[in-house]
């Protein structure tokens, strides 16, 4: 029975344990060796190529933030970036949702860079208001509750979506609510 189970291992299981080049061999035998060889070469060819083998990626630098109106003004560029990454994930958006493009400044690929100080996008004003709201909830209310636990963030309500989904109460007798 053990050998029967071993023969039934799926290609997904084999891939998960790191034997991708041998999937075809395990499934189709010796006839698949040339395909397994080509597959292995393709994987190696897709590996990232650095100018120097084993060179660490270039460190990102973040300019000092300007025009901070809701966030504390003493934050570094790295700290603001970390906050923005959390907001981006919590809302399921990209940086350009709140920050305007600066068509005068182009990145190395020729795309317009973002003007982080600009207030021209209405979404940035909404983000500031929502940040102020969550800070108010956390400092004025949750901080006064012993063992309140995790603070309110963008993701608390939005769950990775720009518009939070409405809460719908489960019908009586379904879900976690006790029946009266």
Q: What is the pTM of this model?
A: 0.61
The pLDDT, as a whole number, for residue 156 is 92
For the beta carbon of residue 71, count every other beta carbon within 10 angstroms. Answer: 16
- Nearest alpha-carbon partner for 156 in 176, 177, 134, 125: 134
For residue 170, the model assigns a pLDDT of 85
Residues 128, 87: Cα–Cα separation, whole Å: 11
DSSP run (H or E) holding 106: strand 100-106
Residue 81 Cα distances to 2, 5, 85, 87, 95, angstroms: 53, 50, 6, 10, 10
Ranges in the chain, pLDDT < 70: 1-54, 173-180
**H-type alpha helices, the chain:** 2-7, 11-16, 23-28, 33-45, 77-91, 122-136, 154-158
- By C-alpha distance, which of 49, 47, 44 is closest to 36? 44
d(CA 15, CA 28): 16
Q: Which two tokens stand for residue 54?
A: 């084993």
């Amino acid at each position: 029975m053990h050998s029967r189970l071993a023969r039934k291992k799926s290609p997904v299981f084999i891939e998960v344990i790191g034997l991708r080049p041998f999937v075809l061999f395990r499934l189709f035998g010796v006839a698949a060796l040339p395909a397994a060889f080509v597959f292995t070469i393709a994987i190696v060819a897709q590996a990232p190529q650095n100018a120097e083998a084993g060179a660490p990626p270039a460190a990102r630098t973040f300019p000092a933030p300007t025009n901070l109106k809701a966030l504390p003004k003493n934050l570094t560029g790295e700290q603001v970036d970390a906050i923005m990454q959390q907001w981006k994930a919590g809302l399921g958006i990209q940086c350009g949702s709140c920050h305007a493009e600066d068509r005068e400044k182009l990145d190395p690929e020729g795309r317009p860079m973002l003007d982080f100080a600009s207030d021209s996008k209405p979404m940035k004003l909404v983000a500031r208001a929502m940040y102020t709201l969550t800070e108010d909830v956390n400092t004025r209310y949750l901080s006064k509750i012993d063992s309140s636990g995790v603070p309110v963030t963008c993701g608390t309500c939005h769950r990775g979506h720009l518009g939070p989904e409405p809460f719908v109460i489960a019908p009586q007798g379904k879900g976690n609510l006790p029946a009266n």
